[in-house]
Amino acid sequence: MSERKLVLFIATSLDGYIATKEDSLDWLYSVEGEGDNGYSEFYETVDTVLMGKRTYDWIMDHAEQFPYQNKMCYVFTRSEMKNAEDVQFVRNDIVSFINKLKLQEGKDIWMAGGGELLSAFMQEQLVDELILTVAPVLLGSGIPLFKEGNQTKLTLKRKRSFNQFVELHYEVRV
């Protein structure tokens, strides 16, 4: 049986930002999409969600209830945290943690962001596929999706659009 994949699924502005400097996603929610823009289809393919502590804090500040209650959810932090009801905090070395996780049986693993955690994952070549939902907006500044790092070659697996959004699905070339 092949290892399960770690997949980045994230929305980005055309100029490569995932939030404004003030952590606003208003620019994203104001785009006219189609249905849920492929979200539930993707959500079905994963049983585990990974995110950085700042993304977790953003969700806790904005969501009425934690949105990924039916998935195994890990939040990466370098601080000492008590586990919360819906998530486990991870301080371990990301490489050994992810390699163990990939060997467990199950569906794929969703890397939900943000940019800082993604940067560490890309440096360590832990991401297998990237699905970017591109919003038709130039933010000019903000929290970058990608930071400086290694060159990564990709293969385009699929492209489709949801009204104003374009979804680009890439596989990392090994």
Ligand X SMILES: NC(=O)c1ccc[n+]([C@@H]2O[C@H](COP(=O)([O-])OP(=O)(O)OC[C@H]3O[C@@H](n4cnc5c(N)ncnc54)[C@H](OP(=O)(O)O)[C@@H]3O)[C@@H](O)[C@H]2O)c1
Question: Are the C-beta atoms of 34 and 163 separated by less than 8 Å?
Answer: yes
Q: Give the range of 32-40, 70-78, 97-105, 164-172 binding ligand X by CB under 6 A.
A: 70-78
- The token pair that represents 60 in the structure block: 């806790």
**At closest approach, how far in Å is the CB of 170 from ligand X?**
16
3-state SS, residue 134:
strand
Residue numbers 110-129 binding ligand X by CB under 6 A:
112-117, 120
Asked if 15 touches ligand X (CB under 6 A), the answer is no
Does position 33 interact with ligand X (CB under 6 A)? The reply is no
Binding of ligand X at residue 83 (CB under 6 A)?
A: no
Contact 160, 36 (CB under 8 A): no
Which CB atom, from 2 or from 93, has the smaller least distance to ligand X? 93
Q: Does residue 55 interact with ligand X by CB under 6 A?
A: yes
- Answer whether 69's CB lies under 8 Å from 86's CB: yes
Nearer to ligand X, 32 or 105 (CB): 32
Among 5, 15, 16, 25, indicate the residue that binds ligand X (CB under 6 A).
25
Long-range contacts of 91-95, Cβ-Cβ distance < 8 Å, separation of 24 or more: 94/120, 94/121, 94/124, 94/126, 95/124, 95/126
Shortest distance, position 116 Cβ to ligand X, whole Å:
3
- Binding part of the chain for ligand X, among 34-42, 46-54, 98-106, 160-168 by CB under 6 A, reads 46-54
Smallest distance, ligand X to C-beta of residue 1, A? 28
The residue number with the shortest CB distance to ligand X is 114
Could you give the count of Cα atoms lying within 13 Å of 40 in the half-sphere of its Cβ? Answer: 3
17 vs 137: CA distance, rounded Å: 10
Residues 146 and 144: their CA atoms lie apart, in Å, by 5
Question: Which parts of this chain interact with ligand X (CB under 6 A)?
Answer: 10-11, 18-19, 23, 25, 28, 51-55, 58, 76-79, 94, 112-117, 120, 143
